[in-house]
Amino acid sequence: MDAITLPQTIHKGHGACSAHSAAPVAAVLSERIVLGAMLRGDDPGFTQDTLGRLAPAAFTIPAHRTVYAAIARTADTGTVDLSTVMLTLGDNLTAVGGFEQLSAAVQESFTSTAPTDHVARLADQATLDRRRAAPRCSRRWPPSTAARTSTPTASSSSTPSPRHPPPRSSSRRSKNRPVTTARCSTSACPGMFRPA
């Protein structure tokens, strides 16, 4: 069986594409296999499942994002296959490599036995990328000692806020051991840190 050769560029007529100089080759190949399997048009269930699981941001190369967005637009109006997606792309067809690149992606999808594995890989990678890019909150939990030991006023209730869990007792922590932090699991405050 011949090895799959990955073209150096997705964009027609340009040298090595800077768009995937930072993208791992396995990610680019997975993207092409997923797009090719959707462009085949022989499994509408796979296409709908993929559109439900992946966002265009899951693709590392702008040309792949463009093709995926065109597939999503085509799926909203009718059957997804190579010819209908090419019509949907219109003027963007040459920017994504033209018929040659799209048909090469379809051919690559035939060599893969399980394109759903590639969808799962892309979804996992997109989740990791989102977690890395998530902003971190600069506040630390628990708040300062003064804030914890202040007496409650008549207007404040003694029940803990559902947004922030109550501080743990300081007797459980050694004074010499540094406080370790972990991401707060409270969905209302995803950036807050609290002791682990």
Judge if 120 and 141 occupy the same domain: no
The model's pTM is 0.53
Q: Is the dihedral of CA 169, 172, 176, 179 positive or negative?
A: negative
Residue 82 lies in a domain: yes
Judge if 79 and 141 occupy the same domain: no
Residue 26 belongs to domain with CATH number: 1.10.860.10
Which pLDDT belongs to residue 145? 53
Residue 152 lies in a domain: no
Q: Rg (Cα) of the chain, in Å, rounded?
A: 25
Q: What is the total count of domains within the chain?
A: 2
Residue 112 CA from chain centroid, whole number? 22
- In the predicted model, is pLDDT for residue 16 greater than 60? no
Residue 48 lies in a domain: yes
CA dist., res. 18 & res. 41, Å (int): 30
Judge if 109 and 140 occupy the same domain: no
Judge if 123 and 141 occupy the same domain: no
Looking at the chain, the whole-number percentage of residues with pLDDT higher than 70 is: 45
Judge if 115 and 27 occupy the same domain: yes
Judge if 49 and 126 occupy the same domain: yes
Task: Write out the residue range of the structural domain in which residue 74 sits.
Answer: 18-133
Judge if 105 and 128 occupy the same domain: yes
Residues 128-160: tens digit of each pLDDT? 666 666 555 545 555 555 555 555 555 445 555
Pick 15 or 180 by higher pLDDT: 180
Judge if 68 and 90 occupy the same domain: yes
Within 10 Å of residue 1's Cβ, how many Cβ atoms? 4
CA dist., res. 142 & res. 188, Å (int): 17
Judge if 116 and 32 occupy the same domain: yes
Judge if 115 and 141 occupy the same domain: no
Judge if 119 and 141 occupy the same domain: no
Residues 158-186: tens digit of each pLDDT? 555 555 555 555 555 555 555 444 444 54
Pick 195 or 61 by higher pLDDT: 61
